[in-house]
A and B are shown apart, each in its own frame.
Chain A
Amino acid sequence: MSNLDFSKNDSSFSSNLRFLSVLFTGFFLGIIFTKTIGREILILFTTSNLIPGIILAVIFTGAIISAIVSLKKEESRDVVLLYVNLFVVGLVFLMLPHIIEGNDMTLKLSNVLGFGIAFRVNALTLYMLIIASLLWFMVTLYSHSYMNKKEKSGGRFYFWFMVAYGGAMGAIMADSLITMFLFFEIMYISCYFLVAHSATPEAIKAGYRYIFMGVVGGLSMLLAVIILHVNTGTFDLMSMSNYIVLSSDGTGRMLLVALIFMLIGFSIKTAIFPLHFWLPGAHSSAPAPASAILSGLIIKVYVFSLIKFLYVGLGLEIVQFLRLPEFLPYLASVGMIAGSVFALRQKELKKMLAYSTVAQVGYMILGIGLSNPLGISATLFHILTHMITKSALFLCAGAMYYHTGKKDIGDYKGIACKMPVTMGIFTLAALSMIGIPGLVGFMSKWYLSIAAIDAGMPYFVIVLLISSFLNAMYYLPIIINAFLIEPEDGQTCFLRDPIPNNMLFPLVGLGIGLIFFGIFPKMVVSIFQMGITFM
């Protein structure tokens, strides 16, 4: 087996990995068992409002350091990145005790960039930060072997990978419109480099679509931000709704125009149905770790920001004035069905997964469009669901590509025999997409359905179920193909996948997450109940 990557020059990575796992465990045990003196020190540190700033500083510095180190030695770069990621995870978890008591953390840097940037961390933001940092850590762990074997110029990849991380974290924490916009753009530009990384004609083409649509969306947003600022005099999300009065005079019309531009920008970036066409190409032509990040997290940052903009910035009254509840769910349901239908006979596995993302974004938009607390809570839960499920699927697809070097579904005949764990996780994730009770996907369908009926629109439940059935129609053949059709070349089977451990651990972690949150969804939902009260 030539594809086992722990060769001699790789030993530093694996020994570091062992050290890292010990550190990781020790860290969490420390958090749990620090009771007395340590607790005092922790509280002193955790109540400091600087942590959001520190997180961003660490990430961006990490990006630069990784680029420098990468010039010398590629192995050390991956180790450095792992430590940086772990450190960020630690920082995020440090905020937990303070936030969970119901406090907010705010950081305003009023002199930066002329107009000042502001961050705020509350329970919901922290929830997003936690899933983002954990996913990034797992994907970084995974990408080491994948990038080594399958892609070139890792230095460039990892630099933009970390910059995108910083952009995502910043956009999650942003408290003012301009901050949000700034970090959106950072995220967007850096993601372009991830999309077009492999520089195949296909990737370049997808990258063009991605960047052009992104620029259009970004400019729409910028225009909106400027108009809003001129007419209200503030960038602040929390106080914005006080200034927005949609009357029929000049200012009112200007504000309306601004909001329309903002929504157009958001609907491009969240790939709401008719504007989704850039997504499948972009998400499928990126390297597998980047696909997992793009589909698993980046798209959700926009969804989360949309929630923030609509329900914190504007408030329910304006949302209803704009008649969003009257057309957003319909667009979403068209997206849910159309995305699944397009996915039905994609030949390439990753492309199918990307089309499935279009459908899944529809679920989240549906939850937002229902515009009741249950709907928002369902959307937030689906963010977690889709993060776990889709990144597991993409990472499994990456692992199969890593082992076989083939991309088409037809080439994966009988692959479960060779990669039982990978295909097992894939099956779990696919069943979760279909909505089998006991897995996390079922719970988000359940919450969404309850929300839809609560909003007085029970027909969306039927759309949800049709979409589930379509999911079954395109996921099950892959599984059947992998488990039950005889492979063409030989019939040797393994008990353990022929991929390195550092690719296997994230997969197993996500698989455990699929089951865990499927059985104990209340743990997450209670956070939303804490966070959504502000609306």
Chain B
Amino acid sequence: MEHNNMNIQISNHIDEHGPKGNLVLSIVIGIITLLSLFITLNVVSGNFPGLGFWLNARFGSNPYLPIIITLLPLTGLISSAVGIRNEKSRDYLNLVTNLIVYLLLLSILPTVIHQPISIRVADLLGYGLFFKVDLFGIIVAVLAALIWLLVSIYAPDYMDHETRRNRFYLFLSVTYTGILGTVLSGDLFTTFLFFEIMTFSSYLLVVHTETKEALNAGDSYIYMGIMGGLSILLGIILLFVNSGSLEYSSLAGVLKDMGNQGYFIMTLFVVGFGVKAGMVPLHIWLPKAHPVAPTPASALLSGIMVKIGAYGILRTIISFTFPSVDLSSNYELWSVSQSLGSVIIWFGIGTMGIGIFLAMQQNNIKRMLAYSTVSQMGLIIAGIGVTSYLGLKGAMGFSGALYHVINHALYKSLLFMVAGAVYLKTHTLDIREMGGLWKKMPIAFIVSTIAVLGITGMPFFNGYVSKTLVHHGIAEAHYYGEAIFKVADYLFIFFSGGTACVLFKWTYGIFFGELKDENKQITEGFKALHVPMMIIALIIIGIGFFPYFLLNTLIIPTAKIFTFDSEFIYKYIEGINIYIIKDLMGIVYVYIIGMVLFVLGIKGPLFNLRAPKWLCIEGLVTYPVKRIAHFIIDLYCRIPSKRKEKVCVAPPPKPKYDELVEHESIIHKFVEFVDKQVCKLEMPFIKSDVLLYSMLLTFVLLFFFIVK
């Protein structure tokens, strides 16, 4: 039959290996990446005026470029279709697309630094879409493009052993579109559109392996993501009806006039974006979802996607609650931003603490990194809180948060890449089964050490700069504001020590110690996947040695486009010297605390503390719900015991404690509860409806006759 021939049978679960990366091509692209980044940053800071003029004339005058850039990754559809036949071509296509996006973003950077590029597409989706590329957006976009390009060099070697590669690359590119759209958009509506695209497409990355664990993690991820999305949507609707505008412009007056509703709207935004940013207590999806995804996806999720949440919080707060420049001296208008900020700082500190404490307990290296991401996001959120709290004087917190977004994206994606590279050789993620790998995998060891030095804040590596800036910000918070933030200051140092401890554990557990027998055969070799790792390591060192370059060329101009005190920026941030004895001593404390904690962990019980099950958030919420549900079901099922056939189920046996917490998420429990209720109540409902109606009808008829 002819139609049978049309059904080309393809096997979905090919176990054969995919194509490896091409080493030469990777090196070439890596050099292009570094060179173009270097040249563009130089153009931005005023060198090469001729090239700057040319770029401006060629790309700056094209307002359609933001839309083109946003939609360009959707060529992933084509490349994945190609990939059904030829996987090598697909990888090349993806690489080229990502390179083009990266270069296009770099080429409009010199224009954007002078004025934003904006374009409005009216009538689409009823409200109309609005793209506006300003400096803040494009910094995050360039960062995302850089990491994406490097990951797409890294991915082929790793995805080699995974299946369903075409689907993976397809949704990777759709997620990319979502992220670019989110940061390049000029109003909240457009941001929300692309934010939702990102949420749904990245779900497929989380559940890629389709194991039970992955599906559970995916459930947590998607339901929390939808909840976050809906809370943003509610905020958008309320804001739109009250102010008539969703553009990123100052609405401080409107928000203040709304009273409590203004706070409510801003809380909705913080919660909605906070889900993505992994803010405690909305973080529970993050440590589940990031480790189960394939490593390239983990690197992107942890490196870029959580930053989009932070970007959303920062963007909504800084544009909506800050008054415009001419009204900035009106103290009343800052009230929303200030009270919001004082709460967010504590949430940030809490996120740091809980994240790092849980990270210490992990033996799965990817989960360890995921918890560390939670903790680092806490640092960024604390920076955002400082920005919001200090308002006019918040430029230090802003610069610190933005700088840390860049730095964390770099070293966290590098660490995930290292985890992937180690996994490819050892085939395990358990840190107890590794050890002594430094001799066997020297490249991984070196880049990992660089990343660790970056994340722990060693001077002359990138983390030191941004951590110091955020630290300055918190110091200013108790200098200009409440004295209670002194506590936040101490906690900040202490939790940074915790980060150091976790990364000591990482380095010690993987690279030092005793070499296991099964790892003796490992040889590393030099492959395509090492190229992006080395590039990131180079950038980390580069930022560490020239910390002021990025600050002066990009971050301070960004701060200047928002309502910050320009005198404050000039006085305290431009020409800041971070290598002063006070800051260096801070780092010494951090390392001392880290070492102490590490020794406690190795010799003592710190790394093996298991919090009681009820303490985890799901346990706290789920267990009472389950108990109440069972109580109610018992109540229902015992009283009419004579009518056995009507009872849906026998009273279920009392659930064991561990089962409750481990195997079912809250959603499932809720569904189960509802199901039982529906099963019980459906027939009574229908009967009572009929009764109700007949009573009503009788009543009306009686009324009718009496009146007549």
Q: Interface code A180-224, partner B: CB below 8 Å = 1, 0 otherwise?
A: 000000000000000000000000000000000000100010000
How distant is the Cα of A100 from the Cα of B693 in the complex, in angstroms?
43
A149 at the interface (CB under 8 A from B): no
On whether A344 and B241 interact (CB within 8 A), knowing A6-B3, A472-B226, A473-B667, the answer reads: no
> Which residues of B have CB within 8 Å of A373?
none
Which residues 506-535 in A have Cβ within 8 Å of B in the complex?
518-522, 525
| Size of interface on A: residues with Cβ below 8 Å to B | 62
Closest residue of chain A to B10 (Cβ to Cβ) is: A493
> Is B700 touching A491 in the complex (CB atoms < 8 A)?
no
> Is B234 touching A216 in the complex (CB atoms < 8 A)?
no
Q: Interface code B346-389, partner A: CB below 8 Å = 1, 0 otherwise?
A: 00000000000000000000000000000000000000000000
> Is B238 touching A254 in the complex (CB atoms < 8 A)?
no
Specify which of A274, A437, A446, A498 is in contact with B689 (CB 8 Å cutoff): A274
Q: Closest Cβ of chain A: how far from B227's Cβ, in Å? A: 6
Which residues 410-456 in A have Cβ within 8 Å of B in the complex?
417, 431, 434-438, 442-443, 445-447, 449-450, 453-454
> Which residues of A have CB within 8 Å of B248?
none
> Is A344 touching B210 in the complex (CB atoms < 8 A)?
no
On whether A250 and B125 interact (CB within 8 A), knowing A446-B237, A494-B9, the answer reads: no
> Is B6 touching A450 in the complex (CB atoms < 8 A)?
no
A486 at the interface (CB under 8 A from B): yes
> Which residues of A have CB within 8 Å of B3?
1, 4, 6
A357 at the interface (CB under 8 A from B): no
A22 at the interface (CB under 8 A from B): no
Q: Interface code B655-686, partner A: CB below 8 Å = 1, 0 otherwise?
A: 00000000000010001101100100010011
On whether A461 and B678 interact (CB within 8 A), knowing A437-B196, A521-B126, the answer reads: no
Which residues 2-29 in A have Cβ within 8 Å of B in the complex?
4, 6
Closest residue of chain A to B126 (Cβ to Cβ) is: A521
Q: Interface code B675-708, partner A: CB below 8 Å = 1, 0 otherwise?
A: 1001000100110010011001100100110010
How distant is the Cα of A495 from the Cα of B84 in the complex, in angstroms?
11
Specify which of A257, A454, A473 is in contact with B223 (CB 8 Å cutoff): A473
Which residues 406-463 in B have Cβ within 8 Å of A in the complex?
none
On whether A257 and B700 interact (CB within 8 A), knowing A1-B7, A4-B3, the answer reads: yes
> Is B237 touching A437 in the complex (CB atoms < 8 A)?
no
Q: Interface code A484-495, partner B: CB below 8 Å = 1, 0 otherwise?
A: 111000011111
Q: Closest Cβ of chain B: how far from A99's Cβ, in Å? A: 23
How distant is the Cα of A447 from the Cα of B3 in the complex, in angstroms?
44
On whether A345 and B675 interact (CB within 8 A), knowing A1-B7, A257-B704, the answer reads: yes
Q: Closest Cβ of chain A: how far from B6's Cβ, in Å? A: 5
Specify which of A345, A438, A484, A520 is in contact with B215 (CB 8 Å cutoff): A484
> Which residues of B have CB within 8 Å of A1?
1, 3-4, 7
Which residues 214-236 in B have Cβ within 8 Å of A in the complex?
215, 218-219, 222-223, 226-227, 230-231, 233-234
> Is A453 touching B222 in the complex (CB atoms < 8 A)?
no
> Is A274 touching B692 in the complex (CB atoms < 8 A)?
yes
Closest residue of chain B to A6 (Cβ to Cβ) is: B3
> Which residues of B have CB within 8 Å of A498?
7
How distant is the Cα of A261 from the Cα of B699 in the complex, in angstroms?
12
> Is A434 touching B226 in the complex (CB atoms < 8 A)?
yes
> Which residues of A have CB within 8 Å of B231?
465
How distant is the Cα of A486 from the Cα of B164 in the complex, in angstroms?
13
> Is B700 touching A260 in the complex (CB atoms < 8 A)?
yes
> Is A275 touching B200 in the complex (CB atoms < 8 A)?
no
On whether A344 and B671 interact (CB within 8 A), knowing A6-B3, A417-B12, A468-B230, the answer reads: yes
> Which residues of B have CB within 8 Å of A216?
693, 697
B326 at the interface (CB under 8 A from A): no
How distant is the Cα of A473 from the Cα of B672 in the complex, in angstroms?
12
> Is B237 touching A453 in the complex (CB atoms < 8 A)?
yes
Which residues 493-526 in B have Cβ within 8 Å of A in the complex?
none
How distant is the Cα of A447 from the Cα of B126 in the complex, in angstroms?
9
B16 at the interface (CB under 8 A from A): no
Q: Closest Cβ of chain A: how far from B365's Cβ, in Å? A: 25
Q: Closest Cβ of chain A: how far from B202's Cβ, in Å? A: 14
Specify which of A253, A264, A438, A449 is in contact with B237 (CB 8 Å cutoff): A449
A342 at the interface (CB under 8 A from B): yes
Q: Closest Cβ of chain A: how far from B671's Cβ, in Å? A: 5
A277 at the interface (CB under 8 A from B): yes
Chain A binding surface SS class: helix
Specify which of A486, A520, A522 is in contact with B210 (CB 8 Å cutoff): A486
Q: Interface code B1-19, partner A: CB below 8 Å = 1, 0 otherwise?
A: 1011011111111000000
On whether A493 and B675 interact (CB within 8 A), knowing A1-B4, A4-B4, A257-B704, the answer reads: no
Q: Closest Cβ of chain B: how far from A246's Cβ, in Å? A: 14
Closest residue of chain A to B190 (Cβ to Cβ) is: A437
B193 at the interface (CB under 8 A from A): yes
A476 at the interface (CB under 8 A from B): yes
> Is B689 touching A436 in the complex (CB atoms < 8 A)?
no
How distant is the Cα of A525 from the Cα of B128 in the complex, in angstroms?
14
> Is A469 touching B226 in the complex (CB atoms < 8 A)?
yes
> Is B218 touching A480 in the complex (CB atoms < 8 A)?
yes
> Which residues of A have CB within 8 Å of B227?
469
> Which residues of B have CB within 8 Å of A344?
671, 674-675, 678
> Which residues of B have CB within 8 Å of A476?
222-223
A341 at the interface (CB under 8 A from B): yes
Closest residue of chain B to A219 (Cβ to Cβ) is: B697
Q: Closest Cβ of chain A: how far from B122's Cβ, in Å? A: 9
Q: Closest Cβ of chain A: how far from B621's Cβ, in Å? A: 16
A458 at the interface (CB under 8 A from B): yes
A112 at the interface (CB under 8 A from B): no
Q: Interface code A274-285, partner B: CB below 8 Å = 1, 0 otherwise?
A: 110100000000
How distant is the Cα of A525 from the Cα of B9 in the complex, in angstroms?
44
> Is B685 touching A277 in the complex (CB atoms < 8 A)?
yes
A462 at the interface (CB under 8 A from B): yes
Q: Closest Cβ of chain A: how far from B43's Cβ, in Å? A: 36
Q: Closest Cβ of chain A: how far from B515's Cβ, in Å? A: 38
> Is B7 touching A496 in the complex (CB atoms < 8 A)?
yes
> Which residues of A have CB within 8 Å of B238?
453, 458, 461
Q: Which of B1, B223, B233, B696 has its CB near the most chain A CB atoms (within 10 A)?
A: B233
How distant is the Cα of A473 from the Cα of B238 in the complex, in angstroms?
25
> Which residues of A have CB within 8 Å of B241?
450, 453-454, 458
> Which residues of B have CB within 8 Å of A495?
7-8, 10
Which residues 1-48 in B have Cβ within 8 Å of A in the complex?
1, 3-4, 6-13
Q: Closest Cβ of chain B: how far from A513's Cβ, in Å? A: 15
> Is A277 touching B230 in the complex (CB atoms < 8 A)?
no
How distant is the Cα of A116 from the Cα of B144 in the complex, in angstroms?
70
> Is B11 touching A492 in the complex (CB atoms < 8 A)?
yes
Q: Closest Cβ of chain A: how far from B405's Cβ, in Å? A: 25
> Is B689 touching A277 in the complex (CB atoms < 8 A)?
yes
Specify which of B10, B674, B696, B707 is in contact with A341 (CB 8 Å cutoff): B674
9 inter-chain pairs at a CB distance below 8 angstroms, sorted by A residue, are A257-B707, A342-B682, A345-B674, A437-B193, A446-B237, A453-B241, A462-B234, A468-B226, A469-B227
List 19 other contacts, CB 8 Å, given A417-B12, A443-B126. A1-B4, A4-B1, A257-B700, A257-B703, A264-B697, A275-B689, A341-B674, A437-B125, A446-B127, A450-B241, A458-B238, A461-B238, A465-B234, A469-B230, A480-B207, A480-B218, A495-B10, A496-B8, A498-B7
